[in-house]
Amino acid sequence: MAASREEIRAGLAEIVYEITGVDAKDVQLDRSFTADLDIDSLSVAEVVIAAEDRFGVQISDDYIKNLKTVGDAVEFIQRAGAVA
């Protein structure tokens, strides 16, 4: 079954917490990984790797470079066909 936006957001929040220690409840759609959540680019790259593994998708390199908010990531993962 396809994953809902909320399921993907919650999954990302768990990953972000695991990797950076940022509280999962702060990982909301409108938040920027770097500006709002203060996550450095290396950690964003780790989050992407973990998200690809968890949701069974591949995030293109071009998209990763332009990735800003949690919502951007959720939308991409959903369109790429993430399964719950």
Single-letter code of the amino acid located at 34: T
Listed in sequence order, the residues at least 6 apart from 64 whose beta carbon sits closer than 8 Å to its beta carbon are 45, 48
Q: Which of 6, 58, 81, 83 contacts another protein by CB under 8 A?
A: 58
Question: Can residue 53 be called a binding residue for another protein (CB under 8 A)?
Answer: yes
User: Within a 10 A sphere around the Cβ of 13, how many other Cβ atoms?
Assistant: 18
Q: In the complex, what is the shortest distance from the CB of residue 1 to another protein, in angstroms, rounded to a whole number?
A: 25
Within 11-50, the residues that bind another protein by CB under 8 A are: 19-21, 42, 45-46, 49
Smallest CA-to-CA distance from 33 within 77, 64, 76 is with 64
- Please give the residue ranges that form the binding site for another protein (CB under 8 A): 19-21, 42, 45-46, 49, 52-53, 58
